[in-house]
Amino acid sequence: MNNRWNHFLSEVTNHIRSKEAKRFVASELEYHLEQVKKEWMGKGLSEAEAEEKAVNQMGSPSKLGHEMNKLHKPKIDWWLIGLLAITMGLSFLPLVTLGDELSDGYLVMKAIHVLLGVMIAAAMMFIDYRKYENKGWVFYSIGVVFLFLLITIPNTIINGVPYFMIGPFQIESYYALPFLFLGWASFFNNPKIKLWQHFILFALPLLLLMAVPNLVVSFIYIVMVFVMMWWSRISRKAAAIITVISVLGAALFGIFAWSTVQVYQFARILGFLHPEKYPSTWGYTYLKLKERLASAGWFGSAAKSAALPFEHTDYAFVNLTYHYGYLFAIGLFVILSLFAARIVMISLQINSRFGHLLLVGGVTLFLVQFIYNVGMMVGLLPLTSMSLPFISYGFIPMIFNVFIMGVVLSVYRRKDLILNRTV
């Protein structure tokens, strides 16, 4: 490469502000110049003459640099950021509705959660996700280690969720999900990994989750992997066969497990199916939630009653509906739905297979929480510890969901910095 060539590339990239875009444009131009140079050499020109011709053919480096700066400028998805800002503000309402029943310390902690969430989403946006495309084994291993520690270290159980402490940090199964999510995006993008290897990689965390145990995280993990599989390098035929076999296997396991159901577990199932028959025990919470929804009205209930347990966490949707009415609930449902719609729209603009898998996995993780939480609030699904994204109080759910949105922002920021050729 002669000095004229180097000078041309340097002058073009001097007009590009983003460091990431500089590297991308330099790589693209160098590739294009090399192709043009080969064409001229094929016509009988010397290497030096061909390089000169190739540079001249590109035109003004200043004009080209300005055009490339506009075209390949890293993007910021203001729509998604706007939705985050709205939901972060709304997330204080479940605490506000409880009034004096919770101390001001909860509001302070919520403010800290929101601040940390904003910082994490912003940091994730500026991290180049493409650097971790081949780091799946690292992320997967971290997730597995988290689960292994939950089994081996003596832990505490609160509300059915086991955890252990490392200093001031409460470590539980949810911490493994982001790492497993990044690991599977890499695995499904790697053509060298065979189907039987995928099976082993899938089974290990699932067995550990069942040993912890945490059925909620297990459910989220299973749905995430299966949805990502349908958008991976695995053929649709193979994905269909795997899905059918898995569903049949789950059905057989369910039949077997039914024979081992304990009395209290059977009572919980009956409480969900027929809550009116168990008004003071297993059906109590279902009836109370139904009662609150029925009395909410379009603008909230005028008669305020004592708060139910978990109204600021798992039951936040019913809490807000009861206090602010059906119109507010519909608006909140639409706002949260827009997150999923926006991620799907972004996925249609992405040429990176790895980035596409991250978006598919991210929207799946978000929708599983969102749909299940609303479903159990309206009585369609059994009650369990499933948070409403961004709205429910809690540090782990907040960080988990802002991490997902941070990944989406990172992919969107670099949507025009993807090579559409084989180098």
* Of the candidates 171, 169, 152, 176, the residue with the CA atom closest to the CA atom of residue 161: 171
Residue 135 in tokens = 């780091």
Residue 13 in tokens = 């990239």
On whether residue 199 sits in a domain, the answer given is: no
The residue type found at 405 is M
Contact 164, 150 (CB under 8 A): yes
Pairing type for strands 161-166 and 169-172 reads antiparallel
d(CA 174, CA 160): 13
Strand, coil or helix: 270: helix
Using omega within 30 degrees of 0 as the cis cutoff, is the peptide bond preceding 178 cis?
no
Asked which of 71, 92, 123 is the last residue of a domain, the reply is 71
| Enclosing domain of residue 284 | 78-133+232-413
**Is the same domain home to 288 and 387?**
yes
Contact 329, 320 (CB under 8 A): yes
Asked which of 18, 53, 71 is the last residue of a domain, the reply is 71
At residue 422, the pLDDT reads 41
Q: Which of 89-98, 133-142, 247-256, 412-421 has the lowest mean pLDDT?
A: 412-421
In this predicted model, what pLDDT tens digit does every residue of 247-304 receive, in sequence order?
888 888 777 776 676 666 677 787 888 888 888 888 888 888 888 888 888 888 766 7
Number of domains forming the structure of the chain: 2
**Is the same domain home to 359 and 266?**
yes
Contact 20, 128 (CB under 8 A): yes
The pLDDT of residue 155 is above 90: no
At residue 423, the pLDDT reads 38
Residue 59 Ramachandran class (φ > 0 left, ψ -120 to 50 alpha, else beta): left
- Residues with Cβ within 8 Å of residue 410, at least 6 apart in sequence: 124, 125, 126, 127, 128, 129
Name the DSSP letter for residue 73. P
Asked which of 71, 86, 110 is the last residue of a domain, the reply is 71
Phi first, then psi, for residue 357 (nearest 5°) are: -65, -35
**Is the same domain home to 125 and 24?**
no
Phi first, then psi, for residue 172 (nearest 5°) are: -140, 180
- Residues with Cβ within 8 Å of residue 171, at least 6 apart in sequence: 146, 149, 150, 163, 164, 165
At residue 154, the pLDDT reads 59
**Is the same domain home to 27 and 118?**
no
Q: Give 17's pLDDT tier (boundaries 50, 70, 90).
A: low
pTM for this entry: 0.84
Residue 373 in tokens = 């939480």
